[in-house]
A and B are shown apart, each in its own frame.
Chain A
Amino acid sequence: MIKITDLEKIYRTEDIETVALNKLSFEVKEGEFVAIMGPSGCGKSTLLNILGLLDDPDGGSFVFNNEEIAHYSESKRAQIRKRNIGFVFQSFNLIDELTVFENVELPLIYLNMKASERKEKVEEVLKKMQVMHRRNHYPQQLSGGQQQRVAVARAVVNNPKLILADEPTGNLDSSNGNEVMQLLTDLNEQGTTIIMVTHSEHDARYSHRIIRLLDGQMVLENSLI
C-alpha cells in the first residue's frame, strides 16, 4: 500500500539545516498495523505528516496505492487524502464550534455526500464508537476518552484505507487509552491499515510491527507476529 524509498526531509533556517528524515525507506502492506517509535525529534511526526499527505518530502520516492505522489500539488493531495486517509491526533483536534455529530459529518461533507446518506453513516459510526448518546454535545462537554472516540469516529466515517494515529492515547488515562487501542485493533482486524506514532511500548504491542527511528533513520524493525 505504501512504499517509501530514500525519503528525505530537511528543515532549513538561515544558519541551521536540520535533517528530519534521512534517506528513509520501508514498506507497509495493506491490512498491516505498524507502530513508529523513537525519542523526541527523531522524525516520527515528520514522517507521519508526509505519509498523511500533509507535507512534502524534499527527496526520495513515496508510492501510495501504486501511485508516485511525492510531488503532487496541495489540491491533488487533498483529493487523495479525503478519500483514503483518516487521522487520529493526540490532542483530538475536534472543532469546538461543532457538535459531535457535525464533527464526524465533516469529512463526508467534503466528499459532497448527500445529507440523508451522511446522517446514516454518522449515526452508524457513532453507535459503533458508543458515543451516539453524545451526538448533540460540543467537544468541551465530553471527557478526554469520549473526545478521542469521536475523533476516531471522524477518522473512520468515510471508510479510509489508511488510518494515521499520532500518539492517540497521549492525553488519556490508561483505561481510556486501552479502549482506544482496542478500537484501532478492531478497525485493523476489519481490514484498515493503521500506522501509529507512539512513545508507549504498551500501545506499540497492539501493532504487528514496530519501526524505530533515530535522527531520521530507521535503526530497528521488530516484527511482533
Chain B
Amino acid sequence: MIRNYFKIAIRNLWKNKGYSAINIFGLGCGLAVCLLITLYVVDELSYDRYNQNRDRIYRVDSDLKFGGNELRLAVSSDPMGATLKKDYPQVEEYVRFYTSSGSKLVKKGTSFIQEDRVAHADSTLFNVFTLPAVAGNTKTALNEPNTVVITESTARKYFGVSNAIGKTIEADKVPYKITAVIEDIPHNSHFNFDFIFSMDNVDYQYGNYLSMNFQTYILLKEGTDYKAFEKNFTQVINKYILPQAKQFMQIESMDEFTKAGNKLDFRLMPLLKIHLHSDRTPELGINGNIQYVYIFSAVALFILIIACINFMNLSTARSASRAKEVGIRKVLGSERKNLIGQFLAESTAMAIISMLVAITVAYFTLPFLNDISGKTLFLNNLLSVQLLPFLVALPFIVGILAGSYPAFFLSGFKPVAVLNGKGRSGFKKDNLRSGLVIFQFFMSILFIIGTVVIYRQLNYIQTTNLGFKKDQVLIINGAGALGNNIESFKNEILGIRGVSSGTLSSFLPVTSSRTDNSFSKDAVMDPKNALSMQAWDIDYDYIKTMGMEVTRGRNFSKEFGADSSAIILNESAANVLGYDDPIGKKIYTNFQSATSNELVSYTIIGVVKNFHYESLKQNIFPLGLRLNKYQAGLASFKVNSGNMESLVKQVEAKWKRMAPAFPFSYRFMDDAFDNMYRAEQRVGKVAITFSVLAVLIACLGLFGLITYMAEQRRKEIGIRKVLGASVSNIISLLSRDFLKLVLIANLLAWPLAWWIMNKWLEDFTFRTNIGWWMFVAAGILTVMIAVFTVGFQAFKAAIANPVKSLKME
C-alpha cells in the first residue's frame, strides 16, 4: 500500500512539474534557512562545553558605581581569587588571566610578529579549564617565571613542529621558555589564546583590592550553590576591600560609600553563560547574544511555517484535480484513513525531496552565512550525533505538519459528489486559506519594516554628528615601538603630500579596553565629591586632527609651559563637576597609585564639545584629556589623498626605516568605528536576507494559488468574457481578493512591527525615529509585489480565448 502511495506521489509530482517545482523550491528554501540557523544556533550554544568542569566554573564579575560612572566589569582585583580559595572551602581552585598589557611583539628569526591572542595566566589554569597538552606537562608548565605555553598551531608557525618543549621565544624583548604545547583552543571558547605566559612576568602592583584588572575564574566544589555562594562577597568586601578604601577615600563604612550614591558588588557568571549572556568590559573575546539566538530561531521557525503554509495552500487549492481520484479510491474501497495516509505519504515524499534541495541550497549559501555571522560553520556539523536525528526527522515532521490539512481536506470529499462533478471547487472561499496568506504576508511585512529600521539606525550611526571627524584618519598601531623616535616619525609623516595633521595619543574615540580613574573636586578623595572618568594622554594636535571643537577655554599649546599639569574635560565631565565656569579650577587624582593618599592636581584649561567615544548605545560619560605624548601607543594622521595606496606605502617605508624589526600595522578610523557596530551590521544583513526570502517564499505561494485559481475559474472567466468583460475587468476580478488579504496583513503587522523595532532601538541611547512612511513603504512594496505576482497569471487567464475554456466544459 505504502509503495502504491509513493508511486502515485512521484507520478503526481512529475505530472504537475510547475506546481511541484514551486512547492519543492519554496519548502526547500524554508528548510535551508532552518538548517543554516540550526547550525548557527547549535554553534552558539556549544561555547565552552568542551571543558570537563564546565558546570562548576564561574567568573568573578564586578559591578561598580563610583563618581557618577557605572561599570559592569568582567574582571576583579588580583587578590580576589586567592582570597576566595583561602577563606571558603567551597572553592576548589582559581585561575586569573591578565590581558591588560595588550598584544606582544614576538621575535621570529630576525623579525617581529605582533601577536594579539596573548594572555598571562596562573599555573592553576589547567586545573580549571580543559586544555589538553600535546607535549610537556601542563601541571607544572607555568610554575616558574619566564615560561610560556603555546598552542600546536603556534608551535608549527614558529618552529615547524608541534613539540617545541625547551625552546625559547622572545616576546616584548623578554625570553620565555616553552614548557608545554597544548591543542589549539576550540573555536567555540569564550577565550582563545595562542600564547599563555606565566603570571609571574606581569609587572603589577599586587595586593590592591580596588583595582580590577584580572579575569578571575573559580572552580566550585561539586554541589555548591553558586547563588548562595555569592552572598559571601559582602564578607569579602568588609574584610578586605573596606580597609583599603578607608585609606584612599576617607570613608568609615561601606554604608557611607553606598549612601554617597556609589556601589561595589561582585557576582559569579557561570562559564556556560558567558558567551551568550555576558556583555561586560573587558570580555576576552567577541561574545554572542542570546537575544540574537532567540531572534534567529524564531526567524527560522517563521520562515519554515511560511513555507509549510505554501505547501498547504497549494495542495488544497489543487484539490479540484485530485477530487476524482479521491472519489474513485473511495468507491473502490479506500477508507478515509487510507487516503489520509496516502496524502501524508505524498507530502512527506515532497518534504524529503525538498530536504535534498535544502541541503544543496544550504551548501551554496553557507559561505554567505559564515560571512555575515563571522563564524566558520561546516555543513558536516549537521551529521553530528546530536543533529543527525533532527536532520532525518525534519522532513517527516514538516511533511506530516504541512500535509495534514490537505490530507484531511482532500480525504473528506464525498465520492458521489466528486464523481458527479460537484464539490470539486478547489478555490471556493476558504477562511483558513485566506488566513494563511495573511499570516505569510504579515511575517514578510514584519521582516521588511524590521530591515528598514535597522538600516535607518545604521545610517544614523554613519551620519550622525559624532563630535569628531572619523573619515580619512589613518591610524598606525603599536607606535610605542618607535620609542624616542615617535616625534620624529610624526614629523616625517607630516612631510608626506596629502597628510594635513597628525597626533600621538593613548586612545582614540572608538571602543577599546579602557578603565576609569578617580578624580575629586577637593584635595581630599571624598566619595561625595568624586568623579570617575577616563583620562587619555594626547598631544597638542589631537583635537585638531580629530576635528573636535573646544567650546570653552583653550586647547593645549606650546606657548604655555605649565600645560603638563593641565586637563581638558568633555562637556559631561564639566557638567558633573557643576562649576559655572570650570576654566582655571583644579581637580585631583591619585592616578599614580590607587593605595596612596598623595593626590596630583590638574588645572582645567578647556572644555571640548561632547564626542561619542563609545558605541552610540551608551551615553557620553565624563572624560579628561591630558598632555602626555610619551604614553602614546597610537599615531593618527588626517589624510586627504586621491591615491591612498601610495600614501600608505610611503608611511610604511618610513616606518620600516625607523623601526625595521617591528611589523607595520595600520587601519582607518572609520573601519575601526564600523567595527563597533559589527553586530548590528550583521543583524542588518541577516534581516535583509530573511526579508527577501520570506517575501520570495510568500510570493511563490501566491503565484501557485493564483495559477490554480485562474485554472478553476476558467469557465467563469470564459462566460464573463462572452458577456462583455474586458481584460482589465478580469484581472481586477482575480487580483482583488488577494490584494485585500495583503492589505489586512499590513494593518495587522504595522503595530507589532512598531513595537518590536522600538524595543530594538531602545538598546541605543542615540537612535533614529520610526517614521510613518516606513509602514506605508512596506505596505506599498508588498502590494506591488502581490500585484506583480498575481497580475501575470491573471493577465494570462484574462487574454485566454473564451471559446476554448467553454468547450472544455
Contact = CB atoms under 8 A, between A and B. Distances in A.
Interface of A: 45, 49, 52, 54-55, 74-75, 78-79, 81-83, 87, 89, 93-98, 102, 106-107, 109-112, 154
B416 A49 contact: yes
B333 A78 contact: yes
A110 B338 contact: yes
Contacts of B327: 93
B765 interface: no
Contact of A110 (B8, B11, B334): B334
B324 A93 contact: yes
Nearest to B335: A78
A109 B328 CA distance: 14
Chain B interface mostly: helix
Contacts of B8: 95, 97-98
A91 to B, nearest CB: 8
Contact of A97 (B1, B15, B415, B420): B15
A89 B327 CA distance: 12
Interface in B325-342: 325, 327-336, 338
A111 B333 contact: yes
A106 B1 CA distance: 9
Given A97-B12, A102-B7, A109-B4, A54 B331 contact: yes
Interface string B323-363: 01101111111111010000000000000000000000000
Closest 7 CB pairs of A and B: A82-B333, A110-B333, A97-B11, A107-B332, A49-B416, A78-B335, A54-B416
Contacts of A96: 15, 325
Contacts of B331: 52, 54, 81, 87, 93
10 contacts: A49-B416, A75-B335, A78-B334, A81-B331, A81-B333, A93-B327, A95-B324, A97-B11, A110-B329, A110-B335
Contacts of B1: 109, 112
A89 B419 contact: yes
Contacts of B420: 45
Nearest to B10: A97
A98 B338 CA distance: 17
Nearest to A158: B333
Contacts of A107: 332-333
Given A93-B324, A97-B15, A102-B4, A110 B416 contact: no
A154 B332 contact: yes
Nearest to A110: B333
A55 B416 contact: yes
A97 B12 CA distance: 7
Contacts of A83: 333
Contacts of B415: 54
B55 to A, nearest CB: 54
Nearest to B330: A78
Contacts of A95: 8, 324-325, 328-329
A76 B66 CA distance: 82
Nearest to B327: A93
Nearest to B334: A110
A225 B328 CA distance: 34
A111 B334 CA distance: 9
B2 to A, nearest CB: 10
B410 to A, nearest CB: 14
Interface string B308-327: 00000000000000001101
Contact of B332 (A74, A75, A97, A106): A106
B422 to A, nearest CB: 11
Nearest to A112: B1
The interface centre, meaning the residue of B11, B12, B332, B335 with most chain A CB atoms within 10 A of its CB, is: B332
A152 to B, nearest CB: 13
Contact of A93 (B15, B336, B416, B419): B419
A55 B414 CA distance: 9
Contacts of A74: 336
A55 B11 CA distance: 31
A143 B15 CA distance: 21
B336 A82 contact: no
Contacts of A55: 416
B332 A82 contact: yes
Nearest to B325: A95
The interface centre, meaning the residue of B12, B334, B336 with most chain A CB atoms within 10 A of its CB, is: B334
A45 B330 CA distance: 17
Contacts of B419: 89, 93
Contacts of B7: 98, 102
A154 B332 CA distance: 9
A93 B326 CA distance: 11
Given A55-B416, A78-B335, A110-B334, 5 more contacts: A49-B416, A75-B335, A94-B328, A95-B325, A97-B11
Nearest to B8: A97
A113 B318 CA distance: 31
A8 B324 CA distance: 27
The interface centre, meaning the residue of A55, A110, A111 with most chain B CB atoms within 10 A of its CB, is: A110
Interface string B214-247: 0000000000000000000000000000000000
A106 B7 CA distance: 12
B415 to A, nearest CB: 5
B325 A97 contact: yes
A110 B334 CA distance: 6
Nearest to B421: A91
A117 to B, nearest CB: 14
Contacts of A52: 331
B349 to A, nearest CB: 14
Nearest to A166: B419
A89 B416 CA distance: 12
B412 to A, nearest CB: 10
A198 B112 CA distance: 102
Contacts of A98: 7-8, 11
Contacts of B335: 75, 78-79, 110
A114 to B, nearest CB: 12
Contacts of A49: 416
A223 B333 CA distance: 33
Interface string B413-429: 00110011000000000
Interface string B1-25: 1001001100110010000000000
A206 B325 CA distance: 31
Contacts of B329: 95, 106, 110
A97 B342 CA distance: 14
Contacts of B334: 78, 110
A90 to B, nearest CB: 10
A12 to B, nearest CB: 15
Contacts of A109: 1, 4
Nearest to B9: A97
A95 B342 CA distance: 14
A109 B2 CA distance: 10
A88 B138 CA distance: 86
A150 B334 CA distance: 19
A45 B489 CA distance: 104
B336 A75 contact: yes
A53 to B, nearest CB: 10
Nearest to B321: A96
A56 B335 CA distance: 16
A74 B324 CA distance: 18
A82 B335 CA distance: 10
A52 B415 CA distance: 11
Contacts of B416: 49, 54-55
A41 to B, nearest CB: 13
B333 to A, nearest CB: 2
A74 B414 CA distance: 10
